[in-house]
Amino acid sequence: MPKLKSKSSAKKRFRTTASGKVRANFAKRRHNLRKRTQKMKRNARGTQILADADARMVKSYLPYAR
């Protein structure tokens, strides 16, 4: 059976944790930050763990992710 290809866009955007959850960056942090509230910018720091439904979709894009 041939090797499966991973989606290149998913490789750049998502990582898996040691327990198998999917970690992603927050959205809306690229530009136009002056109109966003300080609370929104502060809460969007770092990364977030995706919901189960979203994580299932991302894992199908990354067949060799642990």
pLDDT confidence of residue 6: 96
> How far is the C-alpha of 18 from the C-alpha of 31, rounded, in Å?
32
Averaged pLDDT, groups of 10, the chain, 66 residues long: 96 96 95 96 96 97 92
How far is CA 58 from its chain centroid?
8
How do the residues of the chain divide into helix, strand and coil, expressed in percent and rounded to 5? 40, 15, 45
pLDDT confidence of residue 66: 77
